[in-house]
Amino acid sequence: VLEGTPKGTIRHLVPDAAALAAMDVPAKPALILFPTFGYESATRDVAQSEVFVRLTQASTNYVAMGERGFDALTALVQGVPARAIDYPDTDGAIALVEAAWAAR
What would the pLDDT profile of 39-98 be if each residue is shown by its tens digit? 999 999 999 999 999 999 988 888 899 999 999 999 999 999 999 999 999 999 999 999
User: How many distinct structural domains can be found in the chain?
Assistant: 1
CA angle (32, 35, 40) in 5-degree steps: 135
d(CA 88, CA 93): 7
pTM, two decimals, is: 0.75
Is the model's pLDDT at 102 over the cut of 90?
yes
Report the pLDDT value the prediction gives residue 58, as an integer from 0 to 100: 86
Burial 2-31 (b: 16+ CB within 10 A, else e): eeeeeeeeeeeeeeeeeeeeeeeeeeeeee
The range of the structural domain enclosing residue 72 comes to 29-103
Cβ atoms within 10 Å, residue 47: 11
Is the model's pLDDT at 7 over the cut of 80?
no
Query: From the CA atom positions of the chain, what is the Rg in Å?
Result: 16
Assess if residue 3 is contained within a domain: no
Assess if residue 75 is contained within a domain: yes
Report the pLDDT value the prediction gives residue 16, as an integer from 0 to 100: 95
